[in-house]
Amino acid sequence: MKIAIVGATGLVGRNIIKQCERLLPQDVEFHLFASTKSAGEILTVNNQDLTIKELSSENIEKYDIALFSAGGERSKTYAENFISQGSYVIDNSSVFRLQEEVPLVVYGINQSEITSNTKLIANPNCTTMGLVMALKPLHDKFDLVSMTPVAYQAVSGSGTAALSSLSKEESLDDKSLAELKDGYYTRPIARNVIPLAGNLLDNGYSDEEMKFVHESKKILGIPELVVEPSNARVGVRTGHGVFCSAVFEKNINTDEAIDELNNFEGVQYWSETLATPLDAENNYDVLVSRLRIGLSSPKIINFWCVSDNLLKGAALNAVQIAKYLIQK
């Protein structure tokens, strides 16, 4: 079994390596790819020192699985090269997610959509992933109709450069922070909340917000689902949180809803403690708390969920899919 990790030196790539070490057989032969800048560096996988290869057509051979986390442009350029050599490709970028023939897979929800003919599998957006994990057991019980998610996205979702900017900003006094002109975001993020995550589109929503809309429908298999999203960026390193108000066909019973969440693998309901990004960091599960019935209707559930955007939101889900492919 040969597995390629493309984008091995990035935030998600390094987490993919850790999850491969934890979840996949010890006899897997790993091959690491990254940009020209990182080529030749050494990374250790399963106590073996591996030399990073430059991602280029000449370096691509037959692998059983290729795990991509190198950005959309590299996925568009190189994914087909790996597939043509016989590899399954599991891609973390957004470029293939909404293509009808490409399954958008959250392990634990819809991995059965991977068929014998599937060679390209898309990993969903990190914020969407945590939310649909919480929604899936509720939808199975009460039939989801619409939702209004409000996301609070951590800085690590923007990558290493954004985290470096946050660290620099955290060392500034209030006056210097207010005058900052060269931060990663358009406004300072340390000790702050920016009411926009992603890039604005012509409709006034951001691309991150529209990922909620399109990806939730596809993953949950509810094409008619109504989604009214809002996303903000917060000065937190890791852990995307979402407040969600969800409307269902059936009346909700709180105890039943909590039981459904607790019985769904990969989800924990916290009744005694409020789940926060600090709790979610390095946690493999999606954490849910503050569930309550709507004030205006017994068909509404309001809840909070939070998850590690680098783990279940990216690396963990990708490696869970890889493990599923190995065991098929």
Any idea how long the chain is? 328
> Residue 328: its pLDDT value, please?
84
Active-site residue identified among 20, 31, 139, 240: 240
**Which pair of tokens denotes residue 146?**
């619409």
CA–CA gap between residue 53 and residue 39 (Å, rounded):
5
pTM: 0.96
Determine the angle formed by the axes of helices 207-220 and 126-142, rounding to 10 degrees.
40
126 part of the active site? yes
Instruction: Identify the structural domains of the chain with CATH numbers, from first to last.
Output: 2-123+314-327 (3.40.50.720), 128-308 (3.30.360.10)
Radius of gyration of the chain measured on its C-alpha atoms: 20
Distance (Å, rounded) from C-alpha 171 to C-alpha 45? Answer: 34
pLDDT for position 128: 97
- Please report where in the chains the tokens 């293939």 appear, as a residue: 96
Of the residues 126, 139, 244, 305, which is catalytic?
Answer: 126
- DSSP letter assigned to residue 129: H
> What is the predicted pLDDT for the residue at 4?
97
Angle between helical axes of 126-142 and 254-262 (0-180°, round to 10): 130
The residue type at 197 = A
31 a catalytic residue: no
Mean pLDDT by 10 residues, the chain (328 residues): 96 97 96 93 95 92 95 94 96 96 98 94 97 98 98 97 97 95 95 97 98 97 98 98 98 97 98 97 98 98 98 98 95
